[in-house]
Amino acid sequence: MARYICIEGNIGSGKTTLAKALSKKLNTRLVLEEFEGNAFLEKFNKNPKRYAFPVEMTFLAERYKQLSEILSKPEDMFQRDIIADYSISKSLLFAKNNLDLQEFVLYKDLFEILNTKLRKPDLIIFLDRSIGSTLENIKKRGRPYEMNIDEEYLMDIKERYKQLLINDKTANLLVLNAENYDFIDKPKDLDILIEEINTFTGNRIT
85 noted as active-site residue: yes
Of the candidates 76, 85, 100, 168, the residue annotated as catalytic is: 85
**What is the C-alpha to C-alpha distance for residues 186 and 196, in angstroms, rounded to an integer?**
16
**What is the C-alpha to C-alpha distance for residues 124 and 137, in angstroms, rounded to an integer?**
22
Task: Provide the strand spans (E) within 12-165.
Answer: 29-31, 82-84, 123-128
> Which residues are 194's β-sheet partners?
none
**What is the C-alpha to C-alpha distance for residues 141 and 157, in angstroms, rounded to an integer?**
19
The CB-based long-range contact list for 115-118 (8 Å cut-off, 24+ gap) reads: 115/88, 115/89, 117/64, 117/68, 118/64, 118/67, 118/68, 118/71, 118/88
The angle that helices 101-115 and 48-71 make with each other, rounded to 10 degrees, is 0
Closest by Cα among 160, 164, 161, 163 to 178: 161
The catalytic residues are 85
